[in-house]
Chains A and B, each alone.
Chain A
């Protein structure tokens, strides 16, 4: 007999990903609940602005409601050896009424480009609307709240850091912060921004077409977001740790309608989570209905959004720790793009590179913004190939890419859109380093240079795009390029609907015969039986199969076949020997 699922108190208080919603339970129960939380060493506490200030002008930090006592909460966590991480959102939070702002400030709805108010359904189906952060009253109140919060932390002697979070969703191939807004309030501020820009003569003479306007709107949004960020940084200076991006599953434009007719699938949720991960955004399952967190999604969550992943997210990268030997998401290819402009991935998409990678190395491409680009970080990152579009490169970025090549990394550079002075710089780089260049022509001009383990592959996509039967020729082009690179990778033949994610970890002293250990987590979220075949190269040694659920394995030399029952999942570990 079907029954309505009972929502456990713990699901509301601990909705997932280590978050603890302190306002959802009585302060007298905090101790018991935290004591019962075994395994987690970090407790993530999102600060609920509206819970501490209903008007935006009066504040309650342990004055009236006992549940506003963040000092007590922090002390309880520390008593049980849990590290406390406070989160302060720099954009609306979709799981809170009014996006988490004090109700008196909830006046101007945030809207999408079609004039539809932004609204989300929380895990219980309650509809939460969000409001425009371009409303100056919200900014003023936010600054004041940060000030009061900073004063309270310091006065109460709270010994825990505060991270800023940018909440958003994944739409049309990109992460969009929930601060994004196209309401009349935004448009009013934007027209003032454009007017101010027009005082600059070079800008005034520019023709503002639709793309320029869209980019200007993005610029303006960033200006305002940075104001919120600076206010939080300034007021919480000694506590401030940095910013993390969170992508909320089931928060896309029409998801509220889909939720209303129960048109949601495990596959769609997994795809969304995988997209977030491949863009460096941590997925949050906060909006998922409780029953959706069970079954195959639970296996997915335990592996992909595990406690280790939370530890890694908030682990200072400059410190070595026991987490060096944890599995981390692994991507063979990393594509750098300028996330601050619209359609930033158009050029690399048109070149056919992404389609080829998606077909042949699915779930193996990571997208990163130049804002996070530091070439030295890449030395240990585990990515094997790096792609740069010429139009996004400046001298600093190109020099960094060339340094990566000199350090034995494989670099692709698309010269399409590359500034002339940078082209000259590239030529002088060849001469200065006495590099032997192999120049050839196949559908476009190609230059390849090898040095040690590194390979530099430079081509011009503009010619490729204009070819007849471009799609087919691009496939052939990239096929030949990757064959020439002699890459060692696993050939995967998966039936439609199977999803997989690669992880890897460093090796311990007892497994030094390997360079690293790679793990593939495979899921069949569908309701059908599915087959999955993986043919692995000679540099991979199959180690073990773990967490088998509804799956059978057949192993032959360098090939594994998996027969999944509906909702099956499994992980396979391979030791990788250096070439």
Chain B
């Protein structure tokens, strides 16, 4: 996976809400994808947007599937999920913000978008 074509998603677990997962920031090294824009992309997301973050996601799979759907829609190659433990580790181990995202990309949980399904008549032959 290429960092330039990866959507980085920072999330945390809310200790007040049964450790549910919440997306805090979505971005790539080319720029921020504001959560408001994520919500605009799909109005179904409004239900899980509390004004500052997206969630709750009860399981890791739920978060992963949501993130991959988002990355497909935004035409990234895949996602890199960064939880708060990794972010905390990065703050300790990286001395300058110039190196922060490479560290998160190297150590985050990366997933490629699922292969697009071929729907054409000859799809089964290829």
CB atoms of B25 and A116 under 8 A apart? no
CB atoms of B12 and A263 under 8 A apart? no
Residue of B nearest to A128 (CB): B91
Q: Which residues of A contact B98 (CB under 8 A)?
A: 125, 260
Contacting residue for B12 out of A114, A129, A260, CB 8 A: A114
Taken together as a complex, chains A and B put the C-alpha atoms of A129 and B96 apart, in Å, by 12
A284, chain B: closest CB distance, angstroms: 19
Contacting residue for A114 out of B31, B84, B94, B95, CB 8 A: B84
B49 at the interface (CB under 8 A from A): no
A169 at the interface (CB under 8 A from B): no
Q: Which residues of B contact A127 (CB under 8 A)?
A: 91, 94-97, 100
B55, chain A: closest CB distance, angstroms: 11
A514, chain B: closest CB distance, angstroms: 45
Q: Which residues of B contact A126 (CB under 8 A)?
A: 95-96
CB atoms of B84 and A261 under 8 A apart? no
Residue of A nearest to B100 (CB): A260
Q: Which stretch, A23-31, A51-59, A250-258, A436-444, touches the partner chain B? A: A250-258
CB atoms of A115 and B97 under 8 A apart? no
Q: Which residues of A contact B92 (CB under 8 A)?
A: 117, 129
Taken together as a complex, chains A and B put the C-alpha atoms of A290 and B69 apart, in Å, by 39
B18, chain A: closest CB distance, angstroms: 13
B80 at the interface (CB under 8 A from A): no
State how many residues of chain A have any CB contact under 8 Å with chain B.
Answer: 24
Taken together as a complex, chains A and B put the C-alpha atoms of A130 and B82 apart, in Å, by 21
B32 at the interface (CB under 8 A from A): yes
Contacting residue for A261 out of B29, B94, B96, CB 8 A: B29
Contacting residue for B13 out of A115, A124, A260, CB 8 A: A115
A210 at the interface (CB under 8 A from B): yes
Contacting residue for B88 out of A109, A124, A256, A261, CB 8 A: A109
Contacting residue for A115 out of B15, B28, B29, B96, CB 8 A: B15
Residue of B nearest to A187 (CB): B15
Q: Which residues of A contact B32 (CB under 8 A)?
A: 258, 261, 263
Interface string of A102-146 (1 = CB under 8 A from B): 000000010001111101010011110100000000000000000
Q: Which residues of A contact B12 (CB under 8 A)?
A: 114-116
CB atoms of A125 and B97 under 8 A apart? yes
- CB pairs A–B below 8 angstroms (18 shown): A113-B14, A113-B15, A114-B84, A115-B12, A115-B84, A116-B24, A117-B87, A127-B91, A127-B95, A127-B97, A129-B91, A172-B52, A253-B24, A254-B25, A257-B27, A260-B98, A261-B30, A263-B31
Q: Tell me the B residues contacting A by CB distance below 8 Å.
A: 10, 12-16, 22, 24-25, 27-32, 52, 84, 87-88, 91-92, 94-98, 100-101
Per CB-CB distance, the 5 closest pairs between chain A and chain B, nearest first, are A114-B12, A119-B91, A260-B97, A117-B88, A263-B32
Q: Tell me the A residues contacting B by CB distance below 8 Å.
A: 109, 113-117, 119, 121, 124-127, 129, 172, 210, 253-254, 256-261, 263
